[in-house]
Amino acid sequence: MPAHSLNGTHDKILVVGGGISGLATAVRLVIRAQERNQPRPNVVVCESNSTWGGVLQTQPLHDGFVELCADMFTTKLPWALQLCEAIGFLDQLIPTNEQRRGALVATRHGAAPIPAGFSLLVPQRWDSIWKSTILSRRAKIRMRLEPWVLKLRRHFRPGSTTDESFQSFAVRHWGQEAYDWLIQPLVSGIFTADPAKLSMDAALTEFADLERQSGSLLRSSKHRTHERSADDSSTAQLQDALAATAGTKSIDSSGVRYGLFLTPRDGMSRWIDAITIWLQNHGVVLESGTTVNRLVGSTNGWSVVRRRGSSSVPITEDFNSVVLATPAYAAAKLLQNLDADLATSLEQIEYASAAIVVSRFHRNQFADNGEQLGFGLVVPTILDSPLIATSFASQKFPGRCASSDLLTRSFFGGALNPDHVEWDDQRLIESSVRELRRWIPFTADPIESHVVRWRRAMPQYHVGHRQRIERIKHFVARHKGLALAGNAYAGVGIPQCIKSGWDAADQVLG
């Protein structure tokens, strides 16, 4: 039963934020009521922007389209698939292009293929490491000696419960050279984080746990199965990015085979459209262009002030429960007069920004018509390039542009180079072309290029993040009918955001 209702009717629940986390919260609220045979709660979702989906946005481009932010999600974590199933969207999903699988890493002598089966922090196939031109023989031997080196090192701490940075962890296990030329670019290409601050426990949980269990990643990788529990997999998607190069597939609970990564055939925005239509058909009130400005605790729950557009008068309304599915800093602002401890802990979660240059090239400008490019190129920080990574978007999925074109997305900024995000468009575009040419030869310039900037869009899971989240949970528990959802807490990937929304919905439903 609803925990506490206004006017004796069923629950009124406000979801603040219409990104994937907020929308998933609303879907779960409807589904839970259906499952329990209860009257539907009155759910209102408010989103400041005029569009839904938060950072998930698709833009038409020439005779195709391009994702401006996330372009796929993993199927190793079930929640995105489950959401698609709930709204009848499964048949709209397509896998990555098997034929063009693979990825490149920039070296001092051009781009080289990432060794097959290299799983982010664990080499699964030694033959491909030995054959690889990325590392010296000495670095390869150092990697092979991982179990013994670890035993000998003084600061090896078996069973340690202390969090550690990704950089320190990776160097300790695999040596400086493998870290610099292979592991750092792979991980940074995904997190765009500062490797010296990125928390192993929060961002690369599985590997930290593996060490605690077995000491050596190499030894444990020989014995472990690839199954993982749902909760320890905040980084499964990241690990899978590399497993994808090995060509494996995953099987969901129903036994259906899906590719490791899926995307909506017609773009993320079509998925968001499908979710919002489903929500409206199930009685959820969607208010775009509406910013929630103030939360005040009331006897039955929350008195909320929101404003439509910029000029309109504020609306005050009571709700039993509120889910804040906003970035942590936006939640902090709403909570600062209510709970200073909570607001301060939320504010302490740092965010990074990124700029993406989207370019359309003629395919025939690339050797082999670009067939050998794979899905993308990652650039080691040690090469001192402003380019973090380039994703070959049209190689990953069909239908993104004409078959004679190649669509690229080049990433700049991140935690290490925040100033690059503020470069003007021309400088970013020129830099994307120049830097890509350092490693991949092509003749003509792009036919068209566009820049998109994501400011404070990527929460940084610094060392100690998990403890901070525990503190935040503790403070949230002081407020009945309040829950948080979003990418700042227990995983940045789309599936984890959806899970955060589901957990928040369950929490406010009691």
Shortest Cβ 450–ligand FAD spacing (Å) = 14
Shortest Cβ 401–ligand FAD spacing (Å) = 18
Q: Which lies closer to ligand FAD via its Cβ, residue 18 or residue 374?
A: 18
Shortest Cβ 333–ligand FAD spacing (Å) = 7
Q: Which lies closer to ligand FAD via its Cβ, residue 114 or residue 328?
A: 328
DSSP 396-465: HSTTSS-TTEEEEEEEEETTT-GGGGGS-HHHHHHHHHHHHHHHS-B-SPPSEEEEEEEEEEEE--BTTH
Shortest Cβ 336–ligand FAD spacing (Å) = 12
In this structure, the number of other CB atoms found within 10 A of the CB of residue 85 comes to: 14
Distance between CA atoms of residues 251 and 258, nearest Å = 6
Shortest Cβ 328–ligand FAD spacing (Å) = 10
What pairs with residue 360 in β-bridges?
A: 407, 448
- Positive or negative: CA dihedral 32, 34, 35, 41: positive
Q: Which lies closer to ligand FAD via its Cβ, residue 70 or residue 90?
A: 70
Task: Please give the residue ranges that form the binding site for ligand FAD (CB under 6 A).
Answer: 16-22, 46-49, 54-56, 69-73, 237, 291-292, 325-327, 330, 354, 454, 457-458, 486-487, 492-494, 497
Cβ atoms of 421 and 412 closer than 8 Å: yes
Shortest Cβ 48–ligand FAD spacing (Å) = 4
Strands 387-392 and 73-74: unpaired
Shortest Cβ 331–ligand FAD spacing (Å) = 8
Indicate the residue type of 420: H
Strands 376-378 and 387-392: antiparallel
Q: Which lies closer to ligand FAD via its Cβ, residue 209 or residue 287?
A: 287
In this structure, the number of other CB atoms found within 10 A of the CB of residue 157 comes to: 14
| Closest to 322 in 3D by CA, of 4, 5, 14 | 14
Contacts (Cβ under 8 Å, ≥6 apart) of 164: 199, 200, 201, 208, 463
- Run of H or E residues at 347: helix 340-347
Shortest Cβ 440–ligand FAD spacing (Å) = 21
Distance between CA atoms of residues 463 and 263, nearest Å = 31
**Strand ranges in 110-191 using DSSP code E only, listed in sequence order:** 110-113, 118-119, 122-123
Distance between CA atoms of residues 319 and 479, nearest Å = 13
Q: Which lies closer to ligand FAD via its Cβ, residue 71 or residue 164?
A: 71
Shortest Cβ 227–ligand FAD spacing (Å) = 20
What residue is closest to ligand FAD based on CB? 54
Shortest Cβ 282–ligand FAD spacing (Å) = 19
- Write the DSSP symbol of residue 183: I
Distance between CA atoms of residues 110 and 437, nearest Å = 9
What pairs with residue 474 in β-bridges?
A: none
What per-residue string of b and e applies to 471-510 under the rule 16 or more CB within 10 Å gives b? ebeebbeebebbbbbbbbbbbbbbbbbbbbbbbbbebbbe
User: What is the chain's length?
Assistant: 510
Shortest Cβ 256–ligand FAD spacing (Å) = 20
Shortest Cβ 292–ligand FAD spacing (Å) = 4
- Which structure tokens are listed for 398? 């069909």
Shortest Cβ 175–ligand FAD spacing (Å) = 30
Q: Which lies closer to ligand FAD via its Cβ, residue 129 or residue 482?
A: 482
Q: Which lies closer to ligand FAD via its Cβ, residue 5 or residue 97?
A: 97
Q: How far is CA 334 from CA 212, 292, 323, in A?
A: 39, 8, 12
